[in-house]
Chain A
Amino acid sequence: MTAAPADSPPAKRPVQENAENPYIGLARAHRIAAAVVDPEIPVLTLEDLGVLRGVEWRQGQLVVKITPTYSGCPATQAIQLAVQTALAKGGLPDARVETVLSPPWTTDQITASGRRKLQSFGIAPPAGKKSIRAMFGEETVACPKCGSTETRRISEFGSTACKALWKCESCAEPFDYFKCL
């Protein structure tokens, strides 16, 4: 449960690149952070997932703002570390990753390309967020392998916090469904 200190001291020396032209450094930092992949769904980048909320310089320190998918998602810390590592490799050390809660992440923030990647990875992309409001309602989820909608939910909870376990009745394949939040 140990977390990064709430207020890390700002780096003593500004990153070189920043000193010359802050905008170049920032755009590059954004590209590097956006390309980091989710440790649990390695086909999705942070950009695809829609969790990257901005990159900025603050008192000489690079700050990357990320929003968690689920409050208890164990990947959050792995993502923080991956972002810091990627930036350091790209010549931008000492970056701080900040958790931003508002506005809350929803599956609607997964990009169109992210949805396509999920589909081709064998994970059915989220249907639509209103479906979880209905207490006894069932969602219609198409099988990512054969496209049939003759599917059924095996469990609302799957291998990660964001996925449910489904099965296709047509091709008999079990599959993951990225559930709506």
Chain B
Amino acid sequence: MSIPRAAKKPATAVEAAALFSFVLGLADDALVLGHRLSEWSGKAPMLEEDIALSNLGLDLIGQARFFYAYAGEIEGKGRNEDALAYLRDEHAYTNLLLVEQLNGDFAVTMVRHLLYAAFMHPYYEAMKASRDARLAEIAAKAEKEMAYHVRHAGEWVIRLGDGTAKSHARAQAALEDLWMYAGELFEMGESEQALVRAGVAADRCALRGTWGNTLDRVLAAATLKRPADRWMQTGGRAGRHTEHLGRMLAEMQVLHRAHPGAVW
């Protein structure tokens, strides 16, 4: 994908490295969740939902491509989208642990999606003001798409939570199981904090209230209980993953690794 618009060049190698890992993290989040959603293709509970999940996955993979292309340019070592997506191992991936969790049942998929989208929608909204022109324009595009993600996941969580005793129990269980992965949404390492101070990255912590409000509205309508705050999992941004990511990557990368450089 050729996007020539030059962003402001990072002044030092340290700044470039910080920007690279920040953009790569956003790319990995979007790709891993996009791939997870694609696993539903052909076997979702009903045709409309099969199409919906594929569409949502496609949005995320499209966003990931924009971020990977930009990350590759920042790095300047000739790695393109494919190299970054297909030729990095598990520990080089820095996505949130939340997005790599297994699809589970439909409730798990929808609760996972709600936790992510309810954060990413306002996050991209904030990123539109980034002083990095390229990130601002990717965010402006993604923000519009994420509005649909929040709505879709929200509607399903309500339907499941406020549905039958069985669907309610499963939705509540999904929420309890995934809650410990939500803390990472608000985590920022030192280099990301520097990018926040430079006006390049949005402050994740500042969105805690917005995220919580969206969630509370949905959970109230869904008659679900918000889990109590507790110890949160961490490590995704440092490349320490749950057992699920490696298997996912093995499947996602096998074709490209078996036929290096092959194109459609």
Contacts and interface: CB of A to CB of B under 8 A. Distances in A.
A156 B148 contact: yes
B3 A157 contact: no
A90 B244 CA distance: 52
B151 A72 contact: no
Contacts of A5: 2
Interface stretch (A39-47, A118-126, A144-152, A158-166): A158-166
Interface stretch (B133-141, B164-172, B184-192): B133-141
B182 to A, nearest CB: 19
Interface stretch (A14-22, A29-37, A98-106, A109-117): A98-106
B75 interface: no
Contact of A71 (B51, B82, B142): B142
Nearest to A137: B151
A156 B140 CA distance: 21
Interface string B1-31: 1111100000000000000000000000000
Given A72-B62, A102-B140, A156-B52, A135 B150 contact: yes
B63 A72 contact: yes
B114 to A, nearest CB: 11
A133 to B, nearest CB: 7
Contacts of B62: 68, 70-73
Interface residues of B, number: 49
B48 A2 contact: no
Given A71-B65, A106-B144, A100 B3 contact: yes
B112 to A, nearest CB: 18
Interface string A70-92: 11111000000000000000000
A19 B151 CA distance: 53
A118 to B, nearest CB: 19
A127 to B, nearest CB: 15
Interface string B34-67: 1000000000000011011001111111110110
B145 interface: yes
Nearest to B48: A155
Contacts of B56: 157
B85 interface: yes
Interface residues of A, number: 39
Nearest to A158: B51
| Chain A interface helix/strand/loop/mixed | loop
Contact of A156 (B1, B4, B5, B151): B151
Contacts of A106: 144
A70 B144 CA distance: 9
A97 to B, nearest CB: 8
Contact of B141 (A96, A104, A136, A156): A104
Interface in A164-179: 165, 179
A128 to B, nearest CB: 14
B58 A70 contact: yes
B69 A101 contact: no
Given A72-B63, A101-B137, A159-B51, A135 B154 contact: yes
A101 B5 CA distance: 9
A71 B63 contact: yes
A1 B81 CA distance: 7
A154 B141 contact: no
Nearest to A77: B1
A6 B69 CA distance: 9
Which 8 residue pairs are nearest across A and B when measured between Cβ atoms? A72-B62, A71-B62, A72-B58, A102-B137, A155-B48, A157-B52, A3-B1, A101-B137
Interface of B: 1-5, 34, 48-49, 51-52, 55-63, 65-66, 69, 73, 80-82, 85-86, 133, 136-138, 140-142, 144-145, 147-148, 150-152, 154-155, 214, 217, 221, 263-264
Given A98-B2, A104-B140, 10 more contacts: A2-B264, A3-B80, A72-B61, A101-B137, A101-B141, A102-B136, A104-B141, A135-B154, A157-B51, A161-B59
